[in-house]
Amino acid sequence: MTESQEATLDFIGAYQEEHGVPPSVRAIQRHFRYGSHTSVVRQLRSLAEAGQVEQLKNGSWGLKSRQVQLHLRLPVYGEIPAGLPAQREQEPLETIGVDPAAFGLRPGRPGDIWGLRVRGDSMVNAGVLDGDIVLLSRRPARAGDIIAALVDETTVTLKRLVKERGRWRLRAENPRYPDIIPQRLESQGVMVGLIRRKIA
């Protein structure tokens, strides 16, 4: 695939993600400042032959369903966010492209899935290392889940949620760290996947 084709494919994926529909040929032409409509169609036909796009019934060209999944962009927020990642005042540090099917996920509403960079070694025995990015989903937490927890409205930490003697606790996966028994506990997200950014 040429650089021009890759750029076109990326634009179609980003456009579909933002608008929910593929861009028109005219929108592609305008974005890349092509001199003619024919140049865009030629590019799209080459991508179709490579199995990357398909012409839809309305005449527009969109990514094939598998490619739409591969173009899902997830926001990655700070190491210890002070609020819900969906809050408008909190900007992501970066975005990462993932295939949600690799994590057993289906793309939902914006903000339903996001990433959080891990700092520290309290979850090493669960395979979560310093520098990893955990993928979190906004769904009800259950005992045994690893969650991003807001503790006593002051501190956010990544721990396993456990219930003992009728009381919720946050448990590290490293024996050097004691359980946290919060007075108030709010789950900001349940861990559903992990991306390793460095190799030990």
pLDDT at 64: 59
Strand partners for 146: 160
Output the DSSP codes for 57-113.
Answer: TTS-EEE-HHHHHHTEEEEEE-SS-SS-TT-TTPPPSEEEEE-GGGGT----STTSE
Q: How do residues 33-42 score in pLDDT, each as one tens digit?
A: 888 888 888 8
Q: What's at 44, amino acid-wise?
A: L
> Is the CB of residue 133 less than 8 Å from the CB of residue 197?
yes
- pLDDT level of residue 162 (50, 70, 90 thresholds): very high
pLDDT at 70 over 90: no
Angle at 131 between CA 128 and CA 133, to 5 degrees: 65
Q: How do residues 45-57 score in pLDDT, each as one tens digit?
A: 888 888 877 877 6
Q: How many CB atoms lie within 10 A of CB 58?
A: 9
Q: How do residues 118-127 score in pLDDT, each as one tens digit?
A: 888 899 999 9
The Cα 160–Cα 147 span in angstroms is 6
pLDDT at 24: 84
- pLDDT level of residue 8 (50, 70, 90 thresholds): confident
Q: Tell me what the pLDDT averaged over the chain comes to.
A: 78
| Residues that are catalytic | 122, 159
Full-model pTM: 0.59
Which 8-state DSSP code applies to residue 152? T
